[in-house]
Chains A and B, each alone.
Chain A
Amino acid sequence: MPPPEGDSASAQAGNNSSDFVRKLYKMLEDPTYNSVVRWSADGDSFVVLENEKFTKTILPKHFKHSNFASFVRQLNKYDFHKVRHNEESGEAPYGRDAWEFRHPEFRADRKDNLDNIRRKAPAPRKPAQADDAFGASQQIVVLSESLTATQHQIQALQEQYFELAQTNKVLVNEVISLQKMVRAQSQVSNELITHLSNIEDRRRNSRHSAHSSHSSHSGPTFHAGSLGQLPDGADEPAAELRRAREILNGVSPDSQADRELERLSVAYHQNGSPSDSATSSVMFTQGGPGPMHMLHDPLNDPRHMVYPVGQTTGIDPFHSDHINNIPYTRPLSNPNPMADSAQITPPPKDQGTSMWSHKRPRILLVEDDKTCARIGAKFLHVLECSVDIAKDGLEAVEKINNPENNESFDLIFMDIIMPNLDGVSATAMIRMVTARVPIIAMTSNIRQEDIQTYFQYGMNDVLAKPFTKDSMIRVLRKHLAYMLKDPLQGGLNSDDTGQTVGAPGPPGQNQQAYSNNQQAQANMMAAAAAMANSSMGSGAQVKFEQTPIPSPTTTSSWHSPGQMNQTSPNMDGGGYMNAGGGGPGGMVLTPGGTQRPPPQPYQMMNNQVNSQLAGGSAGFQGGGHMQASEGMGMGGGSEENRPEKRQRLYGPGANQGPFVQ
């Protein structure tokens, strides 16, 4: 495939072949550009005098990009040629840095002639240009030769296509099985959180009855008194649990993409399961091929042998829609994360080295709230990113449209609700200019339908507010993996990553520490599930959502293999379990990690957990869940609505002691 060449190039790949030339002519008509770009004296060529100025100011105006090389390529496509001057003989009429281009039909005085300047034919067509001098039979010979050549070409293309289709099949299978693992993992996490917070809930209740005098009026005396106390370990996991829950919530798959993937996967399975897809998804391919329908085998499918459809029908299933919905471009280079994560030891907490390879990412932070913007910017500075702040969507769009900034941001964090121009609209506008830069929604509004809207308008991911340094790291690693110094061993802060995730994180994993880790755990879980559920042999058809919710006992036994597998000293393993065991101060401090003294209890947790239980299914629960954690849900009907639980959240719940007055 040819490399992409910027917006104008692709926009012009269509029929209006002289559009480019017209733009070019129009540009040259503007006398104010004279010092930068103008017609030559004879009017039979044009000269770019000041390359840099031209690239930065004129190109964006007329061609919507600022890439001089792309401009030159475009010119070449239309058969313009650079006029070469012999510089050694001092013959450089417009200066050494000037670029002069000429096309025999492109003249200042022949505006009417522009239509005669066309894009060069992409492939050599010489054999088709039958010379009149040949006789009819010779023409036939030439034609049949060219036909043979074309057929060879098609054959080659089909083979290539077949290879690609195979690769895609593997990838789709891979993604499907990864999704299942992630889902399994998040169900497991949910169960764990539920279990732990039930225990914690019970304990807190007993504590609160003991601490009834512990009220919200707490003067300095009370303070001084309690200052020296170790924060009570029993209060610790709530905030962690909440964060874990939020993260689980944030990992919300795009259901449309899921459906497409499912469709592809079904199609592929009907076509037989390739052995090579078993590399890292043993669990899900061992079921073997389903019924054999020759749906997609390009070499055998007669449709593909009919010229000229062969090439295009094969690509169809990978319509850009689908490709865009497979968001992770980096292939899993580590097919066996289980083995790896078992060997990895936590890196020392040495933050002296940069996590980025050569260039530090340049981030645009769009946030109307000063406090959030300052904190976000500070986090990003600490992560060695350079940060530009826009205070609303309008300013963000202006910054992107400014040719000096165009394409130079590596990632955009975008608040949603802002004055002047909201984040979603701003994203839509930015997407008209640049398709590539990852745009991350920063919002507390992470209901499923909201997220879908964000994605629809071109956002790539969601960072739940209040964001933390860890969650920012996670986003950066995921979307700027190509900028990491060592994507496979990105040691810096990966302990933090583990913590954000709220799942055991093998530190020292790559930017996919998160997903690999999930996969590793999910593998374990899947294995456990497979043992428990023998009906699961049939390839990709396993439905974890339908697994009945295990009792707490089951849950903890599920956890143990994962826990043994993970060498990560993460609090999730040790801390949670200990806390669950009821020992005060049960927190396990991460060696060299960023474990903190236990935070305050977080009353929302119980509520979330309860609604999770009520919901019954695993993973994200869309609106219902969010309603619990954010209180933002609009359609309260779907959610269980027990007032006594709600009171926990905001009311002066009787057993909540010091909470909201």
Chain B
Amino acid sequence: MHSHYDDDMEDQDIMPALNFEEHVDNGIFEQILEMDDDDKREFSKSLVTNFFDQAEETFVKIEEVLNNNKVDDAKRLETLSSLGHFLKGSSATLGFNKIRDSCQIIQQYGHKLNVDGSAEPNEQVCLDKIKGALETARNDKDELAYKMFNKIDGFFKPHDE
């Protein structure tokens, strides 16, 4: 199916159809793919792999902070915000928009702000929102990782099959 599609394209240089739906900003992600030296996609594949590792590490850290009741809430929120910011940068650079949006939510509530920028003084609400965003981000990450790497039609797999 894939190759059939490609044959129909006039310009073979054009990237294969990307099908990550709203998970990925194709325009941005394609810029990364263009950096690959050949169709083995070594560069982009390792970037994405590293990103998922980095994301998982960050998620674990966020979870730890969320579960650590010994530290006071203000401090925890501060830490959470910077963790969110950190992952937001790389997810945005890869064009992984859904994950990026969750990171943004984490960052915002870490600053005790709603996503629209208005203040959210209730720290417990902020922590809850962050918890929810973490959940969303994890699901999105798993879903996207599946799209990228599953053995049947994962983006980084088909050529090997």
Contact = CB atoms under 8 A, between A and B. Distances in A.
Interface string B1-38: 11011000011001101111110111110111011000
B68 to A, nearest CB: 20
A216 B97 CA distance: 13
B98 interface: yes
Contacts, number: 166
Contacts of B71: none
A239 B27 contact: yes
A223 B14 contact: no
Contacts of A239: 25-28
Interface residues of B, number: 62
**Dominant secondary structure at the B interface:** helix
B2 A227 contact: yes
A228 B117 contact: no
Contact of B101 (A371, A469, A650): A650
A371 B47 contact: yes
A659 interface: yes
Contacts of B85: 417
A660 B98 contact: yes
Contacts of B21: 216, 218, 600, 658
Interface string A219-263: 010011011111100000001100100000000000000000000
Contacts of B28: 239, 466, 468, 599
Contact of B143 (A216, A240, A660): A216
Contacts of A27: none
B131 to A, nearest CB: 15
A379 interface: yes
**Dominant secondary structure at the A interface:** loop
A467 B90 CA distance: 11
A660 B25 contact: no
A379 B11 CA distance: 23
Contact of B88 (A228, A444, A596, A643): A444
B153 A220 contact: yes
B90 A369 contact: yes
Contacts of B116: 627, 631, 636, 639, 641, 643, 646, 649
A551 interface: no
Given A375-B47, A646-B115, 10 more contacts: A228-B4, A369-B90, A371-B94, A468-B28, A597-B15, A597-B18, A600-B22, A631-B116, A633-B117, A649-B101
Interface of A: 216, 218, 220, 223-224, 226-231, 239-240, 243, 368-372, 374-375, 378-379, 382, 415, 417, 444, 465-470, 589, 594, 596-603, 627, 630-636, 639, 641, 643, 646, 649-650, 658-661
Interface of B: 1-2, 4-5, 10-11, 14-15, 17-22, 24-28, 30-32, 34-35, 43, 47, 50-51, 54, 82, 85-86, 88-90, 92-95, 97-98, 101-102, 104-105, 108, 111, 113-119, 136, 139, 143, 146-147, 150, 152-153
Report, nearest first, the 10 A-B pairs whose CB atoms are least far apart. Answer: A371-B90, A636-B117, A599-B26, A466-B92, A633-B117, A599-B27, A636-B118, A466-B93, A378-B35, A646-B116
